[in-house]
Amino acid sequence: MAAGAEVRLLGERLSPYCIRVQQALAVKGVAGYEYVEEDLERKSQLLLSSNPVHGKVPVLLHRGAPVCESLVIVQYVDEAWAGPAILPSDPYERSRARFWAAYIDDKFFPSWEPFFKSNTAETFKNALPAVGTLEGALEECSNGKPFFGGDSIGYVDVALGGYLGWIKAVDEVAGTSLLDGARFPRLAAWAESFAAADAVRGASPAVQDIVAFYKKMQAGGETGASH
């Protein structure tokens, strides 16, 4: 459905959290919304007044009312619009999806984030246990289907999907393969399915753009995706 200026997203193009929200909007079929790129060095008055507590992107403005924090936004998008479900309908499955989305932000990301500063063999090794846990989560959630959400992209998929371009970019620069098929066959297949999925095509920046940004970060020219 066309959302027009009724829906605005304040974002930063390469932020995993903004990508995640754009993927959720795409899955839900919310189209034609206004995307506003923020300069985080000079935040707009609209951003500061819409998210006075954190001052961070993403912020979704729906008929002017701000929704902040990416996982809160994804749940809001799921509840406020008709369209394909992002969260499962069964309460227990919903609880598992929420558990794993929180794990991705609270455990996986902090274990992988050191790549922003250095990409040594130790950085890589330290990131593996959380990826291994996610391999198990995918087995648990997917019931042998391609996505955490089963046959279609759901809550855990966009939670992890927001980072996917970054994972690929870091792999390219560092010469690593985080979601290696030999080590993590399910996640490797998931990454391929996710990247190929019509539902989120166009909702993610080109990996090469992230590569260029990451190289600048490595050179000390950028402070990273800090939101």
> Which residues contribute to the site for a second copy (CB under 8 A)?
53, 62, 65, 67-69, 72-73, 75-76, 79-80, 91-92, 94-95, 98-99, 102-103, 107, 133
If the CB atoms of residues 11 and 88 are measured against a second copy, the closer one turns out to be 88
If the CB atoms of residues 72 and 212 are measured against a second copy, the closer one turns out to be 72
Q: Do 143 and 135 contact (CB within 8 A), yes or no? A: no
Parallel/antiparallel/unpaired status of strands 59-62 and 65-68: antiparallel
Q: Least separation, in Å, of the C-beta of 143 and a second copy?
A: 15
If the CB atoms of residues 92 and 219 are measured against a second copy, the closer one turns out to be 92
Q: Least separation, in Å, of the C-beta of 219 and a second copy?
A: 31
- Rounded to whole angstroms, what are the CA distances from 106 to 6, 76, 204? 32, 20, 22
The residue whose two tokens read 């001052």 is 55
If the CB atoms of residues 156 and 174 are measured against a second copy, the closer one turns out to be 156
If the CB atoms of residues 94 and 227 are measured against a second copy, the closer one turns out to be 94
Q: Name the nearest CA neighbour of 103 among 145, 147, 134.
A: 134
Q: Least separation, in Å, of the C-beta of 179 and a second copy?
A: 19
Q: Is residue 120 left, alpha or beta, with left meaning phi > 0 and alpha meaning psi from -120 to 50?
A: beta
Q: Least separation, in Å, of the C-beta of 52 and a second copy?
A: 9
The residue whose two tokens read 């034609």 is 32
- Helix axes of 121-142 and 185-196: crossing angle, nearest 10 degrees: 80
If the CB atoms of residues 76 and 214 are measured against a second copy, the closer one turns out to be 76
Q: Least separation, in Å, of the C-beta of 211 and a second copy?
A: 31
Contacts 24+ apart (CB under 8 A), 206-209: 206/165, 207/165, 207/168, 207/169, 207/172, 208/169, 209/13, 209/14
Q: Do 148 and 156 contact (CB within 8 A), yes or no? A: yes
Q: Least separation, in Å, of the C-beta of 136 and a second copy?
A: 9
